[in-house]
Chains A and B, each alone.
Chain A
Amino acid sequence: MGNERTSILVVDDEEIVRESLSGWLEKDGYTVDIASDGASALQKLGAGPRSIMVCDLKMPGMDGLQVLEAAKKLQPDLAVVIMTAYATVDTAVSAMKAGAYDYLMKPFDPEELSLMMQKIVGQQSLVRENAVLRQALEKQHAFRDLYSKSPGMQAVFDLARSAARTSSTILILGESGSGKEVMARAIHAESPRANGPFVDVSCAALTESLLESELFGHERGAFTGALARRKGKFEAAHGGTLFLDEVGDIGPKLQLDLLRVLEERRFHRIGGNETIEVDVRIISATNKDLKKAVAAGTFREDLLYRLDVVRITLPPLRDRKEDIPLLVDRFMERLSVEMKKPLEGVTAEAMEALMAQPWRGNVRELRNVLERGAVVARTPVIQLDDLGLPAKGTAQAEPAQAGGVPLQSLDDVERKYICSVLASTGGNVSASARILGIDRVTLYNKMRKYGVRRDGEPEDADAEAPRRG
């Protein structure tokens, strides 16, 4: 019968009631404990979870409803049955409103009690089964923090799982926001190196000389400002994984240095003679077409072959729109925890609009839109208006000339807008990237492209016009 796994706490100030009820329930095989008042009941609940609490309504000190309220805070999934000798509609309504499963009027028929307990046990068992099935399903549709039901992504997950078990160098390709870094972290977490460090370097965010120092470290006095010896990211990642983000952006000298490390697994710190050997798995990522870059002569072909041992290509979100409801669910759960705010989902209208978006910024853009919605929403269900999505037809609208503003190129508009956002955040790149709905690396790239400083001002007085990065 298995009822011994169901623990019932009987709370009543009358000993004879406690004894007779617990005796009866024990014969049904339940594990029964008793408490003579609210305080000791809560103490027992605090010591360990119970399946069911059968609690008298009228007791000295805390009454049944107060015990119910406090018990639900301790254990929200506890099924509480309130017993009363004086059941009125008001007490029943109060009990149910406070979260009671049901109430029983004393004395009750033996069949009524047994059936109610069986019903609760059956429902709790269904809830548990449901949770187990849901977890199994989620596991099936997930690779660590990446979620997808699409067959294409499932194949990507399979490849990533296999690659994770090896130490092979991995190249992750995908548009900005498609989850390249999340994939790199997932591979690391699933790999035998999971207990080692995961070190990430954004190759696009630094100048070539700074990146060189960042990767390989430097000796004291190696260059002006090198006041002490500093270990680089390669050393920091020893025994773990080094993630080179935006690897397509590194300059020619560093490409050669990187090639040597990949070939020899050893290097020198800048300004040093000591040979340092490291055991590092390299995962690199880019949204650039490296074959085109090789053809154009801006990326070394031999380095590409070294990096591109196992290639994982993340499809853009627009090619797997069936994943949007699943991703919305996952982001809602996480945002609810992060923001300590109840979030149950989005309305059907909002979901329809989310499904219709082009999502050029991919999963990151979706998350940002949902985060905005979660901040703005006044109810646990996010409405379409909360999301701040562009109105239908905006993209197709005729260029405006409101206020006599001359028509401008997209680059001009983008540069000016980036400048204004940077200026408004006081040069905070992370905050600006969040507002713009892009990642920091992309913002740095754009700042470099347009010659914009962190404060939103041009890098130099003559650099008004956009320049190539």
Chain B
Amino acid sequence: MEPIFVWWIGETEPGEAVMDHVRAHLSRAFDRPAVLWASPARPSGAYDEKRRQHQTAPILQWLLEAGPPEGKVLAVTDQDLFIPILTYVFGEAQLGGRAAVCSTARLHEGVDRIGPRLLQERIAKEAVHEVGHAFGLHHCDSPRCVMGRSAGLGGVDGKSHELCGTCRQRLRQPPAVRRPHGQ
């Protein structure tokens, strides 16, 4: 069974506890090994001077070229991310592909008040969410499912770390028939 690789590509030093938390959640959610991928390489050409944000598409492409040769790879960064049509994104993944990326940049609000645990939980949820897309899962209407849309931080905090029963069942289906809920 191919593992999930978790790779810190941020500019500051990563919190080891945070990355391990993400790894553990990914392993549990997708029932396979998740390992940390340590490499000093960082993506170039993703930064947009005008928007002062990093565009996700070049990062996803770079992960395929510079990252592990097989398995899913999730990059975690402290840089703010965007796709051209949207003001920001918490993360982005190739639907049914290998690469995913998520950012901690917009997950800090309220952390100084509630504590670092809140940030850990948020990162873990976004990591599982994006890797879920890489496994071909769509957004889910179940209110507690981690694959629910993250409408702002409230949306992130409102959902659990877990895949709902339906999403877990879809995960077991071959990719060709993995369609969104409600069919």
Contacts and interface: CB of A to CB of B under 8 A. Distances in A.
Interface string A1-42: 111100000000010110111011011110000000000000
25 contacts: A1-B138, A1-B139, A2-B180, A2-B182, A3-B138, A3-B182, A4-B180, A14-B84, A19-B57, A20-B84, A24-B85, A26-B95, A27-B138, A29-B180, A29-B182, A83-B85, A106-B85, A107-B87, A108-B86, A109-B88, A110-B89, A111-B151, A111-B155, A113-B85, A113-B86
B149 interface: yes
Contacts of B89: 110
Contacts of A410: none
B86 A110 contact: yes
B151 A20 contact: no
Give the residue among B86, B89, B151, B182 with the most A Cβ atoms within 10 A.
B86
Interface in B70-94: 82-89
Contacts of A20: 57, 83-86
B140 interface: yes
B173 to A, nearest CB: 15
B82 A107 contact: yes
Given A1-B139, A111-B151, A29 B181 contact: yes
Nearest to B94: A23
A109 B138 contact: no
A16 B181 contact: no
B87 A28 contact: no
Contacts of A29: 138-139, 179-182
Q: How big is chain B's contact interface, by range?
A: 20 to 34
A24 B56 CA distance: 12
Of all A-B residue pairs in the complex, the 6 with the closest CB atoms, nearest first, are A2-B182, A29-B180, A20-B83, A29-B138, A1-B181, A1-B141
A323 B79 CA distance: 68
Contacts of B86: 20, 24, 107-110, 113
A114 interface: yes
Interface in A118-143: none
A115 interface: yes
Contacts of A114: 149, 151
A85 to B, nearest CB: 10
> DSSP majority for the A interface?
helix
Nearest to B83: A20
Interface string B51-76: 00000010000000000000000000
Given A16-B57, A27-B139, A2 B183 contact: yes
Contacts of A28: 138-139, 149
A24 B183 contact: no
A17 B85 contact: yes
Given A1-B180, A29-B138, A115 B85 contact: no
B110 interface: no
Contacts of A24: 83, 85-86
A27 B133 contact: yes
A386 B151 CA distance: 55
B133 A107 contact: no
B57 A27 contact: no
Interface of A: 1-4, 14, 16-17, 19-21, 23-24, 26-29, 83, 106-111, 113-115
B28 to A, nearest CB: 22
A107 to B, nearest CB: 5
A108 B138 contact: no
Nearest to B179: A4
B143 interface: no
Contacts of B182: 1-4, 29
A23 B83 CA distance: 10
Interface string B145-166: 0000101100100000000000
A27 B136 CA distance: 9
Contacts of A113: 85-86
A3 B88 contact: no
Contacts of A115: 151
Interface string B167-183: 00000000000011111
Contacts of B179: 4, 29
Contact of B180 (A3, A16, A17, A19): A3
A109 B151 CA distance: 10
Contacts of B141: 1
Contacts of B139: 1, 27-29
Nearest to B96: A26
A376 B65 CA distance: 74
Contacts of B151: 110-111, 114-115
Contacts of B87: 107-110
A406 to B, nearest CB: 80
Contacts of B85: 17, 20-21, 24, 83, 106-108, 113
Nearest to A28: B139
A109 B181 CA distance: 25
Nearest to B129: A27
